[in-house]
A and B are shown apart, each in its own frame.
Chain A
């Protein structure tokens, strides 16, 4: 039976990008449905009624939501080019750090992005603190997955995609090459990998988008 694979995404979502990378690595054909989140399609709302978010992967009519859940589904369904380690302990570590990235690191970077001046000092310190263990993870490794890109590289992909854009907009250096040499090198290696590079959203468009977002956040704070 022909497999039917659809991916609901936006052009910029770093979480949806995770699935794009995974499907590419696995060599899978699929249909892309680009969503406008200000005007969500009936299909998206039908497939993800609880969160109403992207990404959603629909495989033979069955929807899977939440990007890390989708990553594991893709890895378990298509066995070529495994993304997660085989060993249960290594797997547990990968899952732990992916969760840390999404819960703690992302929100701390976001807190830097949505503040300025004196109010930004504490968020910057917190973000730097949260980046330190990630740097540690890369000791003696090219990628989090070892020699090749794996689940955790894909899970941390948003850092390579978004952080430098936010840094440019804020004129701030968070992932300092001196303080975070391994992470800086990883960001380069990840972004330049042919599989990853092909799917990268256009930088200039991302800068405009996030610039507008930052202005909105800062204005909202001022008016409070």
Chain B
């Protein structure tokens, strides 16, 4: 019998991606919530000795690490249910390009924008705005990055739809607004309205409280 375990964290957008994908495919799994900022469990270190990070998917005892790698593994292993990637090789190449772009450029820059201060923050804000303009352009007249329905790019962009919105508000910023980015704004509404997504997001108040505590700790440490 197939045994699927997901090592993640209740608040992480990265393990969140995997949960969405598994739920979309209708795969039963056991979620192991790791308190990654304070402690890395022996099992996590065993399954991901190289990066010591979540998410890790363990399928019949075999670990798969790195969320983009896991998402493709899920799509290839559970072929029934909605596809995360299109079938056409060129369309697949575009998905891989954009997910890489999101993970390597967008997410780190948006994250940095919220956590940095002064000149560093100004620079990060400018970079974030340029990156968001590119994403706005990519959406063009599509409802989702995946077209009419959610695909892997939408799932990987999850950070922008929810976590970043909470963070930018806590940081007193207005980098991503509906006025500046109408298409992204509409995408966020449509994305968060999808049942699979909506039902599996970490609770807003819990996440806000968690980030607020981290902001306060960072501010205290800076003094």
Contacts and interface: CB of A to CB of B under 8 A. Distances in A.
Interface residues of A, number: 23
Contact of B69 (A64, A66, A72, A95): A95
Nearest to B60: A89
B101 A50 contact: yes
B96 A69 contact: yes
Given A92-B70, A92-B72, A96-B69, A66 B64 contact: no
Given A77-B89, A88-B73, A88-B76, A96 B96 contact: no
Interface in A54-72: 59, 62, 64-66, 68-70, 72
Nearest to B74: A88
A65 to B, nearest CB: 6
B96 A66 contact: yes
A59 B90 CA distance: 9
Interface string B37-81: 000000000000010000000010010111011101100110000
B97 A64 contact: yes
Nearest to B138: A50
A100 interface: yes
Nearest to B96: A69
A66, A89, A92, A104: residue with the most chain B Cβ atoms closer than 10 Å? A92
A175 to B, nearest CB: 19
B93 interface: yes
A133 interface: yes
Nearest to B88: A76
Given A96-B64, A96-B66, A89 B92 contact: no
B50 A99 contact: no
Contacts of A68: 96
A89 B73 contact: yes
A51 to B, nearest CB: 8
Interface residues of B, number: 22
Contacts of A95: 66, 68-69, 72
A90 B101 CA distance: 24
Contacts of B65: 96
A173 B97 CA distance: 36
Nearest to B48: A96
B96 A72 contact: yes
A72 B97 CA distance: 11
A217 interface: no
A133 B49 CA distance: 10
A50 B93 CA distance: 15
Contacts of A73: 89-90, 92-93
A153 B148 CA distance: 38
Contacts of A96: 64-66, 69
A72 B59 CA distance: 24
A94 to B, nearest CB: 9
A77 B88 CA distance: 9
Contacts of B50: 100, 104, 133
Contacts of A92: 64, 69-70, 72-73
B206 interface: no
B96 A88 contact: no
B217 interface: no
A91 interface: yes
Interface in A28-83: 50, 59, 62, 64-66, 68-70, 72-73, 76-77
28 contacts: A50-B101, A62-B90, A65-B97, A66-B96, A68-B96, A69-B97, A69-B100, A72-B93, A72-B96, A73-B89, A73-B92, A76-B89, A76-B92, A88-B73, A88-B77, A89-B59, A89-B64, A89-B73, A91-B72, A91-B73, A92-B64, A92-B69, A92-B72, A92-B73, A95-B66, A96-B64, A96-B65, A104-B50
Given A91-B72, A133-B50, 13 more contacts: A59-B90, A66-B96, A66-B97, A66-B100, A68-B96, A69-B97, A72-B92, A73-B89, A73-B90, A73-B92, A88-B77, A92-B72, A95-B72
Interface of A: 50, 59, 62, 64-66, 68-70, 72-73, 76-77, 88-89, 91-92, 95-96, 99-100, 104, 133
